[in-house]
Structure 1
């Protein structure tokens, strides 16, 4: 199985695309995640939508708006509220995790591999087959 992050942006206008992907793929919706981090003393959040693997093909997409949204625990904001409303509509709980920032990784792909490892350990992703 291939598990891959697909980055939409940082969560400004692309949050609407993330929500639209969630609504259009509600039959495949597995998890909705908020990954909290700190960058330059600013609390930031990445929003992630995890879909069930395709059949055939066994491709599991993880759509992400990376580190562009203020952490709602410190600074409530409309973008996170829209994500929470979408989760509520689809009867999904937003799972929150604290992670390292992407800025400490040499390449973005290394950051995504780090996140996949954390998500597997917490059973938010299916194990490799």
Structure 2
């Protein structure tokens, strides 16, 4: 199974695209994850949806809005509340991880490989096959 992050943006307005995506395909949501970090001195969240593969496909998309939403534990905000509401309406819970910020990695692809490792280690996605 190939898992890949698909970045919708950095969460300012793109979060509404993520929410719409989850609302239109609630049956495909496998996990909803909030990754928390501190970037440039600000506590931020990257919100993501791990989707089930379509039909018998060997590709698992992980949609993400990277580090554009304030960490709701530090600064409650409407964007996170709307995301959480969509997740709950889909019958899921938001899983939370504290991670290193993406700017500590020389390339964004390395940041996403790091996140895939975290998700595999915690059995949120299937191992590499």
- TM-score w.r.t. the length of structure 1 is 0.96
How far off its partner does 1:19 sit? Answer: 0.8
Task: Say which SS state the counterpart of residue 126 (structure 2) adopts.
Answer: coil
Provide structure 1 residue ranges, at least 5 long, that are not aligned to the other structure: none
Written as runs of structure 1 = structure 2, the 5 A alignment for 1:1-129 is 1-129=1-129
How far off its partner does 1:54 sit? Answer: 2.6
How far off its partner does 1:56 sit? Answer: 2.9
Maintained 8 Å contact 2:27/2:90: no
How far off its partner does 1:87 sit? Answer: 1.2
Q: Deviations over 1:70-117 (max 9, x none)?
A: 000000000000001111111111000000000011110000000000
Task: Say which SS state the counterpart of residue 12 (structure 2) adopts.
Answer: coil
How far off its partner does 1:53 sit? Answer: 1.7
| Cα RMSD for the two superposed structures | 0.9
CA distance in 2, matches of 1:57, 1:30: 15
CA distance in 1, matches of 2:127, 2:22: 22
Segments of 4+ moved more than 6 angstroms? none
Maintained 8 Å contact 2:102/2:108: yes
- TM-score w.r.t. the length of structure 2 is 0.96
How far off its partner does 1:12 sit? Answer: 1.2
Provide structure 2 residue ranges, at least 5 long, that are not aligned to the other structure: none
Task: Say which SS state the counterpart of residue 32 (structure 1) adopts.
Answer: strand
